[in-house]
Amino acid sequence: MSKLKAHKTICSYCGVGCGILVNQDSNKKISVEGDPDYPVNKGMLCSKGMNLNYVAQETSDRILYPEMRWSKNHPMQRVSWDDAFTRAASVFKSIIDKHGSDSVGFYVSGQCLTEEYYLVNKLTKGFLGTNNIDTNSRLCMSSAVVGYKKSLGDDMVPISYEDIELADTFFIAGANPAWCHPILFRRLEKHKQENPNVKIVVVDPRKTQTSSIADLHLQINPGTDVVLYNAIARRLFEKNRIDKQFVQKNTIGIEELKELVYKTSYRDAAKICGVDASDIKKAANYIGRANAFINMWTMGLNQSVIGVDKNVSLINLSLITGHIGKPGSGPFSLTGQPNAMGGREVGGMANLLAAHKNLLNEQDRNEVANFWGSKPISPKPGLTATEMFDALDNGKLKAIWIICTNPVVSLPDAKKVERALEKANFVVVQDISHNSETTKYADLLLPAAGWIEKEGTMTNSERRISYLPKVIDAPGEALPDAEILWKFAQKMNFQGFEYENTSEVYDEHCALTKGTNMDISGLSHKRLIEEGSFQWPVPHETHPGTPRLFEDKIFQTSDQKAHINTPVNILNKSEKTSKELPLILTTGRIRDQWHTRTKTGKVNRLTTHIPSPLLEMNVIDAMERNIKEGDIVEIKNKRGTVKVKVKLNFDIKEGVVFLPMHWGKIRGNDFGRANNLTNNLIDPVSKEPDYKYSAVQVSKHKKE
């Protein structure tokens, strides 16, 4: 069957943001291929991206029309959109009248398009009168946001993917891009193959596909990153590998850092980290000799009770060596979700304001409120992801509206999340399919249009804004998320939501950025469609976009200097292991699954790589417990139990076990839901959960 027309769009999975051509034949069958002209992936796609056509066409599990129940004891019933909006508006109004604006909240997703993120923030912060709008991006990159702000003055990723091919030294910490950012990894792998001088250091308690190409793998004890980075910094000081001119002219804080790092000997650092002191020195020597150095990180650093300290300590290595604002150099936080960056741009978190403005600054709040024509914006940061569910649990939050995310599987301490949703007075779930375990808690279920069923924009990890067109109609009565939000706002009688299409929302967002660090006032919707993707800032209409930031060495801090921060916590503050709970559970992703499997779980091809959840465990730890390869084991702690098959190897450090985060309940049983076990600790500043460190015991499952 002949192809009709190829639509250029962007992959809906990870923050790499690959370009995809969507083809539809005359039978309306969809196929996808990598866009050869898109600068990110140049035609390549990973296993998840190349199977997106199956997800796009599979409608058997889709939510097709709004459903509602009148009370918790009543069954869900089909209702019209008008009835759904009327109910939502009347419940939100009555709860706000009775308990105040802070008794309601929105919990959204890094998979929302920028326009959707913009609208839900405008609605919540400007018109509902609360900053209780947070996102599942809190779970993956909020520590990096704070790290960038503390070090560079604003949440600005300094580099581009094209810097990968210009660098000669990489330090990859707490990340497995081979599985989680596969196309970036392929670029890195190819670069190393073509340039044998390229050095790669990987820091991870597990051997991974990423560490397989490393010149040096530092298999550290979980939670010891700050000690490691400080020890590397010490070596750089000792070997006179500091860029003194850059540091003197463009930074503050070096003396305090120097004083701190000299307090710990290499021997002590090596002992704490569980690596050889000679390897710490080797890593420092690679960095010290680099002509162009990139450090890359993601969840391994961010998802920690000291995530901000880990971030600033790692960024310090770029700053003291002067590797920022020049080709092939810079601290590069990889974002997990396709539009976590877009969410950051529109202030899509409880402590942020649109267009990188400052929620704590009165002038900024007034500017945004005036622009929106809204009531004054509260200076009080709202509830963050885990705080929102704590507040539902303790009754302070009465109603929650959940968009495009599945907190019952993805948030830590899953049993608490279930209890919180059961206690909530009113739960709205807006999603595409019944596959999400969260939908069963809904009092109002709203069908949303999915990828290629709606238009909008996204921003990838390198600040690249791209347009995603609508290609096919959504099934049933599903509506684009943006339309659902503006129709709800209209039902609430809020002025300023009289949109007819998402391009109007986009242009409004652009106008608000004028004069800010992320000015995209030169990138109209029309220009974006006609000329393709751009990296922000794009401050005027002939501006070509900005692949690399800080080339002028002017940072966004009040003194315009980069800040070398002395970390507050050097040692980890996670829960302690004990005789009863001696193992450290760390959770993460596998290659072919995405988040809670609501999409990838439907694609047979993606279930062949790792078909079911497996606990990865060191052979020595298994022998001590009489556990053999393939046994079913019970992982336990005070929060819950998970039964799962075990996979033994020497790839994971002794004393550490790894469980993928993707699986929820399987046929009603807690077979592999990792978040039954994860803890409630969060970084005190970024409020990101401590997913990488929970104390557990593992034993062989005894059949009853």
- Nearest-approach distance from CB 375 to ligand SF4, in angstroms: 39
Contact segment (CB under 6 A) with ligand SF4 among 8-16, 68-76, 150-158, 604-612 equals 8-16
Q: Is 383 in the site for ligand SF4 (CB under 6 A)?
A: no
- Nearest-approach distance from CB 592 to ligand SF4, in angstroms: 10
Cα 537 from Cα 347, distance rounded (Å): 16
- Nearest-approach distance from CB 46 to ligand SF4, in angstroms: 3
Tokens, residue 278:
């000679």
Amino acid identity of residue 268, one-letter, is D
Q: Is 341 in the site for ligand SF4 (CB under 6 A)?
A: no
Concatenated DSSP letters for 39-103? Answer: TTTTT---HHHHTHHHHHH--TTB--S-EE-SSTTSPPEE--HHHHHHHHHHHHHHHHHHH-GGG
Select 208 or 313, whichever has its Cβ closest to ligand SF4. Answer: 208
- Nearest-approach distance from CB 6 to ligand SF4, in angstroms: 16
| Three-state SS letters, 524-586 | CHHHHHHHCCEECCCCCCCCCCCCCCCCCCCCCCCCCCEECCCCCCCCCCCCCCCCCCCEEEE
- Nearest-approach distance from CB 616 to ligand SF4, in angstroms: 22
Contact segment (CB under 6 A) with ligand SF4 among 112-120, 179-187, 425-433, 513-521 equals 179-187
Select 11 or 91, whichever has its Cβ closest to ligand SF4. Answer: 11
Select 41 or 224, whichever has its Cβ closest to ligand SF4. Answer: 41
| Three-state SS letters, 612-626 | CCEEEEEHHHHHHCC
- Nearest-approach distance from CB 10 to ligand SF4, in angstroms: 7
Q: How many residues belong to the site for ligand SF4 (CB under 6 A)? A: 14
Strand residues in 205-318 grouped as ranges (E) = 216-218, 251-252, 293-297
Select 365 or 595, whichever has its Cβ closest to ligand SF4. Answer: 595
Q: Is 14 in the site for ligand SF4 (CB under 6 A)?
A: yes
- Nearest-approach distance from CB 188 to ligand SF4, in angstroms: 12
Q: Is 11 in the site for ligand SF4 (CB under 6 A)?
A: yes
| Binds ligand SF4 (CB under 6 A): choice among 17, 66, 110, 322 | 17
Q: Is 188 in the site for ligand SF4 (CB under 6 A)?
A: no
At 293, is the secondary structure helix, strand, or coil? Answer: strand
Using CB atoms within 10 Å of the CB of residue 468, give its burial: 0 to 12 exposed, 13 to 18 middle, 19+ buried: buried
Select 182 or 347, whichever has its Cβ closest to ligand SF4. Answer: 182
- Nearest-approach distance from CB 15 to ligand SF4, in angstroms: 7
- Nearest-approach distance from CB 127 to ligand SF4, in angstroms: 34
- Please state the length of the chain: 704
Q: Is 182 in the site for ligand SF4 (CB under 6 A)?
A: yes
Tokens, residue 676:
């039954």
Concatenated DSSP letters for 403-440? Answer: ES--HHHHSSSHHHHHHHHHH-SEEEEEESBTTSGGGG
| Binds ligand SF4 (CB under 6 A): choice among 7, 8, 13, 128 | 13
- Nearest-approach distance from CB 338 to ligand SF4, in angstroms: 7
Select 164 or 183, whichever has its Cβ closest to ligand SF4. Answer: 183
- Nearest-approach distance from CB 37 to ligand SF4, in angstroms: 15
CB contact set of 168 (below 8 Å; sequence gap of 6+): 195, 197, 198, 199, 290, 291, 292, 293, 328
Select 9 or 221, whichever has its Cβ closest to ligand SF4. Answer: 9
Contact segment (CB under 6 A) with ligand SF4 among 181-189, 394-402, 540-548, 549-557 equals 181-189
- Nearest-approach distance from CB 327 to ligand SF4, in angstroms: 24
Select 48 or 491, whichever has its Cβ closest to ligand SF4. Answer: 48
Cα 686 from Cα 704, distance rounded (Å): 44
Q: What are the Cα distances from residue 383, in Å, to 90, 134, 138, 424, 608?
A: 23, 7, 11, 15, 39
- Nearest-approach distance from CB 164 to ligand SF4, in angstroms: 14
Q: Is the peptide bond before 412 cis (omega within 30 degrees of 0)?
A: no
Do 521 and 119 meet the contact criterion of CB atoms below 8 Å apart? Answer: no
Do 75 and 440 meet the contact criterion of CB atoms below 8 Å apart? Answer: no
Cα 349 from Cα 334, distance rounded (Å): 18
Contact segment (CB under 6 A) with ligand SF4 among 176-184, 305-313, 524-532, 569-577 equals 176-184
Q: Binders of ligand SF4 among 31-50, rule CB under 6 A?
A: 41, 45-46, 48-49
Do 480 and 502 meet the contact criterion of CB atoms below 8 Å apart? Answer: yes
| Binds ligand SF4 (CB under 6 A): choice among 21, 144, 167, 183 | 183
Select 107 or 179, whichever has its Cβ closest to ligand SF4. Answer: 179
Q: What are the Cα distances from residue 82, in Å, to 66, 85, 304, 468, 487?
A: 10, 5, 43, 28, 9
Contact segment (CB under 6 A) with ligand SF4 among 11-19, 266-274, 485-493, 504-512 equals 11-19
Cα 150 from Cα 145, distance rounded (Å): 9
Cα 520 from Cα 527, distance rounded (Å): 11
Select 38 or 293, whichever has its Cβ closest to ligand SF4. Answer: 38
Select 591 or 665, whichever has its Cβ closest to ligand SF4. Answer: 591
The gap between the terminal CA atoms of the chain, to the nearest Å, is: 56
Residue nearest to ligand SF4 (CB): 49
Select 183 or 444, whichever has its Cβ closest to ligand SF4. Answer: 183
Tokens, residue 631:
């046994």
- Nearest-approach distance from CB 279 to ligand SF4, in angstroms: 30
Select 111 or 313, whichever has its Cβ closest to ligand SF4. Answer: 111
| Three-state SS letters, 498-528 | CCCCHHHHHHHHHHHCCCCCCCCCCCCHHHH
At 372, is the secondary structure helix, strand, or coil? Answer: helix
Select 535 or 678, whichever has its Cβ closest to ligand SF4. Answer: 535
- Nearest-approach distance from CB 180 to ligand SF4, in angstroms: 8
Using CB atoms within 10 Å of the CB of residue 529, give its burial: 0 to 12 exposed, 13 to 18 middle, 19+ buried: middle
Q: Is 66 in the site for ligand SF4 (CB under 6 A)?
A: no
Main-chain dihedrals φ then ψ at residue 180, nearest 5 degrees: -105, -20
Q: Is 545 in the site for ligand SF4 (CB under 6 A)?
A: no
Cα 540 from Cα 617, distance rounded (Å): 54
Q: Is 16 in the site for ligand SF4 (CB under 6 A)?
A: yes
| Binds ligand SF4 (CB under 6 A): choice among 7, 8, 9, 18 | 18
Select 344 or 599, whichever has its Cβ closest to ligand SF4. Answer: 599
- Nearest-approach distance from CB 337 to ligand SF4, in angstroms: 10
Do 479 and 83 meet the contact criterion of CB atoms below 8 Å apart? Answer: no
Q: DSSP class of residue 607?
A: G
- Nearest-approach distance from CB 18 to ligand SF4, in angstroms: 3
Residues in contact with ligand SF4 by CB under 6 A are 11, 13-14, 16-18, 41, 45-46, 48-49, 181-183
